[in-house]
Amino acid sequence: MNKFIVFNFKMAPGSLKGAKEIFLIFKKFLQKVKSSKVIIVPPYVYLAEASNTFQKECFLGAQDVFWFNRNSATGEISPKMLKSFGVKYVIIGHSERREYLNETNEIINYKIKACLGSGLIPILCVGEKDRKEGDSSLSFPIKKILFEQLNYALRGIILKNSSDLVIAYEPIWAISNNEPKKIEDPEEIEKTISLIRFWIARRFSEEIAENLHILYGGSVNSQNIFSFLAFKEINGVLIGAASTNKIELTKLFKKIIK
């Protein structure tokens, strides 16, 4: 299975000029990336530029979507609009949206259905807020949170192919902007991803579970990327802050293309 590397720009950079500069770094290295599939997820306002800049060297993603295609939803962006820019993937249920915008599991479920119904592939983010001393992926509170998020987000969904969905395990405590920062342990991340895969096998099928991409996200950078990608169970990474830090991005690509 090839690994996915998703670059989530979040709300950066602050101008189109800055976005063009970041895209140039991607353009320089993307041709040389052989073993992974790269998905670039800029803010909506830079999607047109990204769609003009990149052709077949990567896939384009969006950071959110509204759940209807109809016209009356002020401020929102529809699946149809995203598709017209060549967007293929959409991040759904990122913890920052759950927190700042009160995005509920119910809304996340609508959005996943809207993506699947429009031929967009959702990258569903799940993850617990905190881990107490001694907690592991096998601890009841962790399982409960993850299974609940999966259960609600995927309620009523029929998956035809494992490639119709991507899951990103993003423990909130590991995301680079969150304090107090804890150090993530790739082995423990791998165990948690196996747990998510187990849930998928029971909910859908073993075949879907085996072939579904389940990624890890949280403070991934040029120093630690391979400590995650080395694990078979971790099918890729979702990178936040490092996506728009020119020095870090260049270092990261130099490692990936080695």
User: Which residues are annotated as catalytic?
Assistant: 94, 170
Radius of gyration, alpha carbons of the chain: 17
Establish if 244 lies at the interface with ligand PGA (CB under 6 A): no
- Residue whose Cβ sits closest to ligand PGA: 240
Give the chain's count of helices (H) and strands (E).
10, 8
For residue 83, what are its two tokens? 């598709």
Tokens 């927190």: give the residue: 99
Establish if 64 lies at the interface with ligand PGA (CB under 6 A): no
Helical ranges in the chain per DSSP H = 16-30, 47-53, 79-84, 95-100, 105-118, 140-153, 186-203, 206-211, 225-229, 246-256
Establish if 176 lies at the interface with ligand PGA (CB under 6 A): yes
Task: Provide, rounded to whole angstroms, the least separation between the CB of residue 72 and ligand PGA.
Answer: 31
The C-alpha atoms of residue 43 and residue 26 are separated, in whole angstroms, by 16
Q: Which residues of 42-64 are buried (b: 16+ CB within 10 A; e: fewer)?
A: bbeebbeebeebbeeebbbbbbb
Sign of CA dihedral 129, 134, 136, 140: negative
Establish if 171 lies at the interface with ligand PGA (CB under 6 A): no
The binding track of 197-226 with respect to ligand PGA, each residue x by CB under 6 A or -, is: --------------------xxxx------
Establish if 145 lies at the interface with ligand PGA (CB under 6 A): no
Part in contact with ligand PGA (CB under 6 A); list of ranges 100-108, 140-148, 168-176, 196-204: 168-176
Task: Provide, rounded to whole angstroms, the least separation between the CB of residue 108 and ligand PGA.
Answer: 15
Would you say 155 or 181 has its CB closer to ligand PGA?
181
Would you say 137 or 221 has its CB closer to ligand PGA?
221
Would you say 59 or 204 has its CB closer to ligand PGA?
59
Would you say 116 or 220 has its CB closer to ligand PGA?
220
Q: Are 103 and 93 in contact (CB under 8 A)?
A: yes
Binding site for ligand PGA (CB under 6 A): 8, 170, 175-176, 217-220, 238-241
